Amino acid sequence: MDEADRLLLRRYRLPLVGELQVASLWDALLSRELFTPDMIEDIQRAGSGSRRDQARQLILDLETRGSQALPLFISCLEDTGQDTLASLLKTSRQAAKQDVEAIRPLDLKPVVLGPEGLKPEELRVMKQDPSKPSQGKLAPVVLGPEELWPAKLRPEVLRPEVPRPGDIGSGGFTDVCPQDRAKGNADLAYVLNADPCGHCLIINNVNFCRESGLMTRTGSNIDCERMQRRFHLLQLAVEVRCDLTAKQMVQALTQLARRDHGALDCCVVVILSHGCQASHRQFPGAVYGTDGCPVSVERIVNTFNGTGCPSLGGKPKLFFIQACGGEQKDHGFEVASTSPEDETPNSNPETDATPFQEGPRSTDEPDAVSSLPTPSDILVSYSTFPGFVSWRDPKSGSWYIETLDSIFEQWAHCEDLQTLLLRVANAVSVKGIYKQIPGCFNFLRKKLFFKT
């Protein structure tokens, strides 16, 4: 759904939640394939199951259903006799589109900034030896719509390098492991003494159905093998599930949550898939099943809360998400020259971006009050900042997973998880021309040192 339609839905959320008659809409929504039967059931179970709760969830989920979701929804309203709401949305949508057309620039030309006298055939992104600065051969900066850029000036995304202890320190890290007293203090650090210390579930979605419009995630199997080996070395019992639909993903996660974790000390979930933004209260983002249906990160995490998984109460639950957070490409705020050895001419990095994107919620109106409990002993690590793409090289895997594996190999024996993830963010942030920075939501109560 484009931004204008998304903003329109949010603008009229209060009257929609207050007046929408959802019971008459289900058949119309199904017939136009706006939602699947499973999605309809999820909406009907939202909150207390009241009409208002169902209407609120319907409006939120509608944002994930593609570029034609709003006009199809309007036609559903018309078919079910809800003409007042249909007219309100249709009129406002037409007015918004007319406003956009009125201010749209007509004939944008790229503006090239560079040394005076630089000939058009010299407009290249030049690779220079940084030890030999040139006064007259500066690379020009191109401003303007990307589709109008000369072909030679298109930015290329470089293959990720394997971080080395000596150069990870560009962000202030040192090569010497700190002797952290917290590691042996049960009041300051989680105790991971069990053998194995916990379960690790890896869901690796590579091949998606044609109807989903999602491309094959070439290179993801490399990520999967890395994570399977790494967490096995960190003394976890690893299970890998491949190419799961959204419903199968939920089932696999529920089965893991229902196990008896009483004799174990932690639990780890790794998701490798396409992703998008999602409306949320606590944890942003969603990941796609192979059928093209999204599962929100919030739902994944809350499967392991005190109600769904009481045997993990007070124990760390870790989630690592390799998926796009949206479709924006981050150019960075400053373009620095990249060393020649970082470049792989035949590399063709891909993103885990998806056709459907869901925007983050604005502040809830009075009718939408959060009832979820405050999470504890949970950490969710994202491969990218919400709203932006996450880069994956078909030959070497994703930047995030490759770096995560390397950092864990070098430092997990002596540093806590939060410090490890800072190293990962620092190392990934300096890669390529397009930028990416991982981040996390940390609700751990103590430091976590892996068992090595």
Q: Which residues are catalytic?
A: 274, 324
Task: Identify whether the C-beta of residue 292 lies closer than 8 Å to the C-beta of residue 213.
Answer: yes
Q: Which residues, in sequence order, are CB contacts of 54 under 8 Å at separation 6+? A: 22, 43, 44, 46, 47
- Find residue 391's DSSP bridge partners: 351
C-alpha angle 29-31-32 in degrees, rounded to nearest 5 = 65
- Residue 320's nearest CA partner among 371, 266, 395, 263 is 266
Cα→Cα distances 183→291, 410, 416, 424, Å = 43, 17, 8, 21
What's the rounded Cα separation, in Å, for the pair 137 and 126? Answer: 8
Q: Which residues, in sequence order, are CB contacts of 1 under 8 Å at separation 6+? A: 62, 63, 64, 65, 66, 67, 69, 70, 356, 357, 358
What's the rounded Cα separation, in Å, for the pair 14 and 31? Answer: 26
Task: Identify whether the C-beta of residue 301 lies closer than 8 Å to the C-beta of residue 442.
Answer: no
- Residue 5's nearest CA partner among 89, 105, 98, 99 is 89
What one-character DSSP code corresponds to residue 350? E
- Residue 94's nearest CA partner among 78, 77, 74 is 74
Chain center to CA of 116: 43
What's the rounded Cα separation, in Å, for the pair 391 and 220? Answer: 11
| Helix, strand, coil shares, percent, the chain, to 5 | 35, 15, 50
Chain center to CA of 268: 18
